[in-house]
Structure 1
């Protein structure tokens, strides 16, 4: 059997890491355990990822890149449903990462994801309710965004299209924009 290419091995490492973290949490999974799951040596794992943090960052970075790209085209005057739909689509594609973070919030600090998430939320809130929202507007916007993110994880059996519509209906109702 031919040896997997480097990118294939790195992807197998990421997949095994996500599976193990889902069961045990990020700090309870050893790099040796990941290497064994993949069928490589620990030094081979270090060839691909120099540290646990680098490995976890490689899991999270596609989410960061995708959300940044999804939000980039939007500016003032955007339709709330369109903005929230783009955010839903990006976060839904990476719901396994969101689930990992919900199970082990220490991941946020490990890869400084908290700053990125806070930035996204602030940008979305500003686009939805402006620079000087009332407390009620701010509260509804935060609830809409948070609920949207939660639904991508806590309803895994719901088909994506149906979930997207229900989430966007609920978010716009929460914003009182329906």
Structure 2
């Protein structure tokens, strides 16, 4: 998976840190279930038995990777007590760029850790989110508690967006832009928070094939693709797992069908070089209407078969490129790398708001999302 390092003897604490950091990087790149303890051990030049002297199993290794990344963020926040929101965000953005594995590990992989080992990590992140919300509330005393939560979710999504890329080519420059984009998200005036009125109810799928796909997508979104079996899917519909083969030959076929459906919805709007507003509206509409499908599209690509994964990477790259193209047309002074940072940040806002909490079920969320996404894309660039 990666070229192993020369074998050297390290102090125990240093070796544990090295293993946790390496595992976090591999889990982000390949997915928790695609990485073995042997892969991690080989990447640092030791044997698997030597690795087991430091970590009992892969879950413990993942928990340690998240724990170390949270340490970096907490240390950064300790340097910014009571600072104004712009300075607070600058500190967090620097940590987010440095520890860009964290958001993927929290959102995609941590669900594979058992509840006992996950609980302290969940508490630590919740405490960080409360500190973040307090900074937003102090900056915007006009907001209701619900609106503060919305602004906090959006700003945190922006700061987590570097995880969508392998590495930031210019971390210092992009960290500054990321902090400014998070501030844009937190200060969006039109996004004062959705109402408590329910959003329109999504229609039920018609036909057994559509019902199977809909059920599979919902379970994949809730539990993660590797944790769902065909028997699980069949049980939801009162069917035996093997009877699904009449419609889908394998579980992977269901995942491919889900990605094909999402890709078709997105690429349908690319004809004729669409403008930025059209792209934003389409993305928000898809996220709001197909929350589970959107979650699978965002989180489960690592589990696709190789050929399908290649097609999805191509489609996703084309979708991002369409946004970058539209943004540079709207803002010709913006460099392509800056536009790319803002596009990933803006799309991350949609990803998190529609997947987390109950925002997706509240009327007004779509309008608040569109306003926030446009605010992020309009973030001024210092010196740009």
> What's the TM-score once normalised by structure 1's chain length?
0.75
The reply on whether 1:92 has 2:103 as its aligned counterpart is no
Could you tell me how far 1:83 is from its partner in structure 2?
A: 0.6
Q: Check 1:46–1:162 CA distance in 2 against 1; reply closer, same or farther (3 A cut).
A: same
Bigger Cα displacement from structure 2, 81-90 vs 2-11? 2-11
Bigger Cα displacement from structure 2, 41-50 vs 80-89? 41-50
Structure 1 match to 2:68: 62
Q: Which has the higher contact order (CA 8 A, sep 6+)?
A: 1
CA displacement 1:67-108 (0-9 Å, x = unmatched): 2222224444x2111111111112221112333444424257
| Distance in 1 of aligned mates of 2:55 and 2:69 | 18
The reply on whether 1:117 has 2:115 as its aligned counterpart is no
CA displacement 1:104-153 (0-9 Å, x = unmatched): 24257654433222211111111221499413344223312222222x22
Residue pair 2:66, 2:105 contacting (<8 A) in 1 also? no
Residue pair 2:158, 2:182 contacting (<8 A) in 1 also? yes
Report which of the two has the higher share of helix.
1
Structure 1: runs of 5+ lacking an equivalent: none
Residue pair 1:35, 1:42 contacting (<8 A) in 2 also? yes
> Which consecutive aligned stretches of 4+ in structure 1 deviate over 6 angstroms post-superposition?
none
Q: Kindly report the root-mean-square deviation, in angstroms, between the aligned alpha carbons of the 2 structures.
A: 3.3
Q: Check 1:173–1:20 CA distance in 2 against 1; reply closer, same or farther (3 A cut).
A: closer
Bigger radius of gyration: 2
Structure 2: runs of 5+ lacking an equivalent: 1-5, 189-379
| Distance in 1 of aligned mates of 2:104 and 2:156 | 16
Counterpart mapping for 1:11-90 below 5 A: 13-14=19-20, 16-36=22-42, 38=44, 40-76=46-82, 78-90=83-95
Structure 2 match to 1:5: 9
Match of 2:109 among 98, 104, 109: 104
Bigger Cα displacement from structure 2, 14-23 vs 89-98? 14-23
Paired residues, number: 175
